[in-house]
Chains A and B, each alone.
Chain A
Amino acid sequence: MLIRDIMNVLDAELLTGEELLDVDVHTACGSDMMSDVLAYVKDQAVLVTGLLNQQAIRTAAMMDMVCVIFVRGKRPDQKIIECAKENGIAVMTTTHRMFTACGLLYKAGLNGGMKVK
């Protein structure tokens, strides 16, 4: 699905990354712990998180992810948005909670990648 479809599914507000709306993504990861994202993400393109800091963006960038979604209506400050711009990452915020946001995306066709061995 496209990043613009994610926006619709989550009724989310795009905060930066207009130019990435037509990027096609297939897998996502939901976590507040960046340690786990770094250890377990393989080729997931989307990060769903409740962690509101620049490391959420930098971690996504390190993993070559293209979109970060903040749940529970969390609003990143300007520094976080700047960080995302520099790293070419689309950022959106949704009022859904983590479980619901992940469930909606899964139902819409995104998957989570492989099981942890």
Chain B
Amino acid sequence: MTVNSLHYHYDVPGDDFTRAGVASGAVKQILKQLGLNPETVRKMSIALYEAEINMVIHGGGGVIDIDIDDDKIVALVSDQGPGIEDLDLAMQEGWSTASEQERNLGFGAGMGLPNMKKYSDELEINSEVGVGTSVKITVNIEKSGEQRD
């Protein structure tokens, strides 16, 4: 199967939690329809969903840009929120600044960033306090048959 570079763009509102995850759901549908290996679809879906939820809960919303080419999927998730003060700390399992209210929505265990790391083949995070955060998730497209894990 050959895919010649596809692009998708999503605006993710920061003031409507009920919509958090809608874009990731749409991307998952697209990846499935492209007939990609289920493990590839799952990896990108989970990593992107974590990033989208973070962007809504912590970043005040933003944009998602997806690029799909022959051998990889790249998702760029960017917001202009408060930024992450200490990225090394944020990457640790269990570290979270989520409020009680956010935890009542089912999130805020401090597992999202480590999980994004686990499911992506490459994870690049750029964040500056007062400027925003951008997360680049790369998942390689494994052809069926050469599935790992």
Contacts and interface: CB of A to CB of B under 8 A. Distances in A.
Interface of A: 32-36, 38-39, 51, 53-56, 58-59, 61-64, 79, 86-87
Contacts of B49: 38, 58-59, 62
Bin the interface of chain B by size: 20 to 34
B109 A33 contact: yes
A61 B112 CA distance: 17
Contacts of B28: 61-62
Contacts of A63: 42, 46
Interface string B89-114: 00000000000000101111111101
25 contacts: A33-B106, A33-B107, A35-B107, A35-B108, A38-B111, A39-B109, A39-B114, A39-B115, A53-B17, A53-B105, A55-B17, A55-B21, A55-B105, A58-B20, A58-B24, A58-B25, A59-B21, A62-B21, A62-B28, A62-B42, A62-B45, A63-B42, A63-B46, A64-B38, A86-B25
Given A54-B21, A55-B17, A61-B25, 9 more contacts: A33-B103, A35-B106, A38-B46, A51-B105, A53-B17, A55-B106, A58-B24, A64-B38, A86-B25
A36 B46 contact: no
B79 interface: no
**Chief secondary structure at chain A's binding surface:** helix
Interface of B: 17-18, 20-22, 24-25, 28, 38, 42, 45-46, 49-50, 53, 103, 105-112, 114-115
